[in-house]
Amino acid sequence: MRKENRKFGYVACVKEAYKVIAKAWVDAGAELTEAELTEGLPEFTYEAAIEFGWAHYPLMYRPLKPVWDPKTDIRSEVYKDPEPIPDSELVERIGRFKVTAVFKAQFLAILAGPMLGARAMKYDVEAKNSAPVSKTAPARGGTPVKSVLIGNIEWLRLECGWSPKDLANEMRVDTKTVTDLLDRGAKPRPSTMKKYAEAFGRQNGWKITVADLTSRSLKRRLSKAPLKHPLKTA
């Protein structure tokens, strides 16, 4: 019974994590493509499961060890201590994580319901965006979410003393990816959002998450933190 409860907890946590991550991308104004729904978000969900201890990585298994009792001449098998699954069996991937084909199928089956919900949310957002409403309609709190994202990234870029090209180099993306957001308000992909957070975190030693990039309190919180690399001057 305890084993079943643990399994239910793992499944429930994984499903909820996917829902939270999907909503964060939509709230950030990022495009929720089919590739992100079926590949990008499952990777981030699995990463969260590993980070919070819901899942173990690398994958393990418990091999069976044959046992023979010479007194009774009874042969049986017992489980040995857990061992890593051989690399030759890790033929599939969930993002950058190598897994077995069975594990991937089971993991995606768990996410089937949340994926349907995320698709419905995606279609709802697309319908609202195609409706004849003002593109500058304020989000909750009076400021468009996308404006908060652009403002935070621009502020972080200046704090690091980077040009848009410098930021792109730190992220290992094309400069156009950065300028499309800052100049035209283009929606960044979830994977690009993660690269923004990681680049700024490396430079100043700050702990920055994807959710922080759309937080209205980011500047206030980080303004109190010491800079690892002071603002560059000409």
| pLDDT tier for residue 152 given thresholds of 50, 70 and 90 | confident
| Same domain membership, residue 189 and residue 111 | no
| pLDDT tier for residue 46 given thresholds of 50, 70 and 90 | very high
Instruction: Pick the closest to residue 156 from 174, 141, 144, 171 (CA basis).
Output: 171
Q: Look at residue 121 and tell me if it is in a domain.
A: no
Q: Look at residue 126 and tell me if it is in a domain.
A: no
Q: Look at residue 140 and tell me if it is in a domain.
A: no
| pLDDT tier for residue 226 given thresholds of 50, 70 and 90 | low
User: pLDDT digits over 69-97, tens only?
Assistant: 777 777 777 667 888 999 999 999 998 89
**Most confidently modeled range among 43-57, 60-74, 77-91, 133-147:** 43-57
Q: Contacts by 219-226 with C-beta closer than 8 Å and gap 24+?
A: 219/152, 219/155, 222/156, 222/159
| Same domain membership, residue 215 and residue 174 | yes
Which range marks the domain in which residue 38 is found?
2-59+94-115
Q: What is the pLDDT of residue 214?
A: 85
| Same domain membership, residue 187 and residue 104 | no
**Most confidently modeled range among 15-29, 61-75, 194-208, 215-229:** 15-29
Token code pair at residue 43? 């990777």
Q: Look at residue 76 and tell me if it is in a domain.
A: no
| Same domain membership, residue 103 and residue 17 | yes
| Same domain membership, residue 107 and residue 28 | yes
| pLDDT tier for residue 183 given thresholds of 50, 70 and 90 | confident
| Same domain membership, residue 179 and residue 105 | no
Determine contact, residues 178/164, Cβ cutoff 8 Å.
yes
User: pLDDT digits over 106-131, tens only?
Assistant: 999 999 999 999 988 888 877 766 55
How far, in Å, CA of 151 to CA of 140, rounded? 16
How far, in Å, CA of 116 to CA of 86, rounded? 34
| Same domain membership, residue 98 and residue 181 | no
DSSP symbols for 162-177 = --HHHHHHHHTS-HHH
The CATH number of the domain holding residue 187 is: 1.10.260.40
Q: What is the mean pLDDT of residues 204-216?
A: 82
Q: Look at residue 193 and tell me if it is in a domain.
A: yes
Q: Look at residue 70 and tell me if it is in a domain.
A: no
| Same domain membership, residue 165 and residue 99 | no
Q: Which residue has the higher pLDDT, 109 or 224?
A: 109
| Same domain membership, residue 109 and residue 32 | yes
Cβ atoms within 10 Å of 69's Cβ, excluding its own: 9
**Of the listed ranges 33-37, 56-60, 124-128, 186-190, the one predicted with least confidence:** 124-128
Q: What is the mean pLDDT of residues 124-152?
A: 59
| Same domain membership, residue 36 and residue 110 | yes
Q: Look at residue 139 and tell me if it is in a domain.
A: no
Work out how many domains the chain is built from and give that number: 2
pLDDT above 90: residue 33: no
| Same domain membership, residue 18 and residue 98 | yes
**Which whole-number Å values give the CA distances from 132 to 2, 114, 191, in the listed order?**
54, 29, 30
Percent of the chain clearing pLDDT 90 (strictly above): 29
Q: What is the pLDDT of residue 224?
A: 61
Q: Look at residue 234 and tell me if it is in a domain.
A: no
Instruction: Pick the closest to residue 150 from 184, 190, 111, 116 (CA basis).
Output: 184
DSSP symbols for the chain = -HHHHHHHHHHHHHHHHHHHHHHHHHHTT----HHIIIIIHHHHHHHHHHHTTSS-SS-EE--EEEEEETTTTEEEEEE---EEPPGGG--EEETTEEE-HHHHHHHHHHTHHHHHHHHHHHHHHHHHHHSS--TT---TTSS-HHHHHHHHHHHHHHHHT--HHHHHHHHTS-HHHHHHHHHH-PPPPHHHHHHHHHHHHHHH-----TGGGG-TTHHHHHHTSPPSSPPP--
Q: What is the pLDDT of residue 146?
A: 63
| Same domain membership, residue 101 and residue 200 | no
